Amino acid sequence: MAPQRSSLAASTAGSRPTFFSVRAVILAAVMLAFVTVLPRYDLGGWNPYAASYQSRIEFYADRMDSLVRVSTWRQRLFLRHVGNYEIPMWIATHRRATDVIQLPPRSYAARYLQADPIWTDPRIFTYFADFQPIVAWTDLPRRPLANTWVALEPGGIALVRRDGTTDIDSLLQEYQRSEVGGLP
């Protein structure tokens, strides 16, 4: 059977307009008006493109010069992820060679971090701080291996051990209570 091509195939082919003519200028002006209005004017809530463009493109375009001064990869990681990057890095640099660190439940960490504390997920912890001897809170079979715990307080963090001054059992109870209480 022979192919039946669409009659649309002709479409806009045919006579070619010149690049510069009065009508070409009019069409370009219409286009210019559209590209000016679409990303800039909210039009009384009718134009959702404006807000999105301003937050996703214009925001960065305006700050490019100052942001580029944040020059190292590590600084940019901190700029973007703040505590979620800083805490795993702090733990990785302050742990002792023999430490096996129990990551706290997310609900516990959420009480001390404004952002969602995704660093308590072992994958995210590893992503930021590389492979470390850690035990996820949900990893029940490996929990007994942990000998170091993360104690948080407003604006502070500590690694606590059995031989220290912190009562580990009450810290663990706090971990568990946070789960019962859920995310704040």
Residues at the site binding another protein, with contacts judged by CB under 8 A:
1-6, 8-9, 11-12, 14-17, 19-21, 23-25, 27-28, 30-32, 34-35, 38-39, 48-49, 51-53, 56-57, 60-61, 64, 67-68, 73, 76-77, 80-81, 118, 121-124, 126-127, 131-136, 138-139, 142
Q: Are 149 and 102 in contact (CB under 8 A)?
A: yes
Question: Of 142 and 177, which CB lies nearer to another protein in the complex structure?
Answer: 142
Q: Which residues on adjacent β-strands are paired with residue 135?
A: 102
Which strands make up the sheet holding 134-135, listed edge to edge?
Answer: 134-135, 101-102, 148-153, 156-161
Q: How many CB atoms lie within 10 A of CB 171?
A: 18
Smallest separation (angstroms) from another protein to the CB of 7: 9
To another protein, the closest distance from the beta carbon of 51 in angstroms equals 8
CB 54 within 8 A of CB 39: yes
CB closer to another protein, 38 vs 158: 38
